[in-house]
A and B are shown apart, each in its own frame.
Chain A
Amino acid sequence: MKKFLYKNKIITKDLSLFFGEKQVLEKINLNIPEHKVTAIIGPSGCGKSTLLRCINRMNDLIESSHIEGNILLDGRNIYENGADVVNIRRKIGMVFQRPNPFPKSIYNNVVYGLKVKGLRDKKRNTEIVERSLKNSGLWEEVKERLNNSALALSGGQQQRLCIARALAVEPEVILMDEPTSALDPASTLKIEELMGKLKERYTIILVTHNMQQAARVSDFTGFLYLGRLIEFDETSRIFTNPKEKLTENYISGRFG
C-alpha cells in the first residue's frame, strides 16, 4: 500500500468478515488518515456498511458474524481480548444510513451519550447540547423547542440531530454510513458543508453511493468491490487517474 505523509488514525490489517459461511470482507488493508474525510465507495452489497460497522464493533450484535484480522485505533487493536467495547464506541461515533432519533425530546437525544457516561451536571450538559447542535447546524432551527419530540423533525433535521448526538460525546472518529441517502439536495448540501468543518477536529469515514459527493467532500477514497479493497488513493487521483480497470469502470458509471 502506498504511503502518505499523514498520521493514520485507524489501520485495518487483513480484516475479513463472515456472516455464517458467507465471506463479506476479504483481507481489507486500509489506512485512515487523521483529520481527513475518507470516502468508501462501491456498488450496493459490496460490504461498505459491514466494513464501517466493524470499526465500532457494531457487527458484534449480529450473531452469525465472525471476524478475522485486526483493526488498530491509535495503534491499539480494538478486537484484542478484553478490549473495552464501550470505550471504543465512545471514541468512534456513528451516524447511521437512516436517521434514527430516539423517540425522546430533542434535548434528551443529544444528551443521551452524556447521561450514559454518567455526566449529570445539568448546566454543563445544556452547554454541550447547545454546542453540539450549533456544530451540526441545527441549533437555529430547534433552539425554541428543545423539549419537543425529535420525531417531529424533518428527515434532514433528524440526520443533523443524529450528528449532534454523536458529536456531544466528543468522539475522535465519526463513521457516516450514507448519511444523506434519505435526504433532499438542500439538506445534503448542509451535511456536506458540515463534514468539511468537522474534519478539523475529527477523523471522518464516509460511506457513500454518490460519486459526486465523494469527489466533493473527501480527501481520500477507497473503492470496495465484492468485499475486496480494489484501490485506495487521494480522492483527486482516484477520480482523475485510477490505476485499476475496475475502479475506472465504476466511477465512469459503467456498472454499479
Chain B
Amino acid sequence: MRFKRLDEMFGFGMLGLSALLVVLILCVIIFDISAKGLSVINWEFLSGFPREGMTKGGIFPAIVGTIFVTLITTLFSIPLGVCAAIYISEYTREGTLTGIIRAAIRNLAGVPSIVYGLFGVALFVQGFRFGTSVLSAGLTLGLLTLPWIIATSEEALRAVPQSYREGALALGATKWQSIYTNVLPHAIPGILTGSILGLSRAAGETAPILFTGVAFSLPALPGSVFDQFMALPYHLYILSTQHHAIEQVKPLAYGTALVLIVLVFVMNLTAMIFRYRLRKKFQV
C-alpha cells in the first residue's frame, strides 16, 4: 500500500511538473518579448506607416494586412472545411474510400508550409491569375488551415451522441434536418474552437504568403483583394534578419512580435468566449 501511494505521488508530481514547465516556457517567452518590445508600443507605432527605411514609424499597414488576409482565409476555409467534415462524417459510409480521404487530410496537415506557398503560386497566382495579392495569399493560407478545420470539425461531429440523430430521425426529421437542428448546434463550439486555433496559426505564417502576395513595404493600404499587402510575420522576419541596421530596429522587431502575439491571443480569446456563449445557448 505504501509503495502504491509513493508511486502515485511520483506520477502525480511528474505530470504536475510537466504542466508547470509548459506554462513556465510560455511565461518566459511572453515576458521576454514584452520586456524588449513594450517600450516602442505607442499610438504612432500602432497607427503609423514605417518611415526612414523602417527605422522609425509604425506597423499599421502590417496589422491591417494580416487582419485582411486572415479574413479571406476564414471566409474560404471555414465554410469549405465544415461542409467537407459534415460530408465525411455524416454522409459517407465507413470504408476504404473514407479511410483514404481521412489519411489524405491527415497527411495534408503535415505538409511543410513553404510547400503550400509554392503550390499557392502555381494555383492561385499563376493558374487563376489572381497575381500576388491578398486573395492568393488568403486562399493559400486557407489550404493550409483546411486540414485542421476538417479534422477538428469531424471530431466535434463525432462527439455528438448518436441518440440525437436517432431521436430526430425517429420523429420524422430528414437526414439534413437532423444534422442541421440536432447535430450541428452541439458540434459548433468544438468546430469554432478548432477552426480559430487553425486560423490563428495561419495568421502567424510567413512561408505561404512569401511568394503569393506579401510585400516588403507599400506606400498604401491594400484597396482590394487583388492588391499586395504587408503582414506582421513577414515584417518581423525582415526587421530581425534582413534589415541593414538590425541592432537599431531590434526594439521595433520585438514590438511587432508583441502585437502579433496579442492579435493571436485576441483571436483565441474570441474563440473561448464564442464557445462559452454557444454552450450556454444550446444548453436550453
Q: Is the CB of B170 within 8 A of A58?
A: yes
Q: Among the interface residues B170, B282, B283, which one has the most CB atoms of the partner chain A within 10 A?
A: B170
- Chain B interface: which of A16-24, A40-48, A92-100? A92-100
Q: How large is the interface on A (under 10, 10 to 19, 20 to 34, 35 or more residues)?
A: 20 to 34
B172 within 8 A of A: yes
Q: In the complex, A100→B163 CA distance in Å?
A: 6
Q: Is the CB of A86 within 8 A of B174?
A: yes
Q: Is the CB of A116 within 8 A of B171?
A: yes
- A162 neighbours in B (Cβ, 8 Å): 167
Instruction: Name which residue of chain A comes closest to B178, CB basis.
Output: A116
Q: Tell me the number of A-to-B contacts counted with CB atoms below 8 Å.
A: 71
Q: In the complex, A103→B186 CA distance in Å?
A: 9
Instruction: Name which residue of chain B comes closest to A91, CB basis.
Output: B172
Q: Is the CB of B170 within 8 A of A93?
A: yes
| B89–chain A nearest beta-carbon distance, Å | 13
- B282 neighbours in A (Cβ, 8 Å): 103-104
Q: In the complex, A113→B181 CA distance in Å?
A: 11
CB contact between B171 and one of A87, A98, A105, A112 (< 8 Å): that residue: A112
Q: Is the CB of A102 within 8 A of B164?
A: yes
B207 within 8 A of A: no
| A83–chain B nearest beta-carbon distance, Å | 14
B111 within 8 A of A: no
| CB neighbors of A among B156-181 (8 A) | 161-174, 177, 181
Residues of B in contact with A (beta carbons under 8 Å apart): 93-94, 161-174, 177, 181-182, 186, 282-284
Contacts A/B (CB < 8 Å), 27 sampled: A56-B170, A58-B166, A61-B166, A61-B169, A87-B172, A89-B171, A90-B171, A96-B166, A100-B166, A100-B167, A102-B168, A102-B182, A103-B186, A104-B282, A112-B168, A112-B171, A116-B172, A116-B173, A116-B174, A116-B181, A117-B172, A147-B284, A162-B167, A165-B171, A166-B170, A166-B171, A169-B171
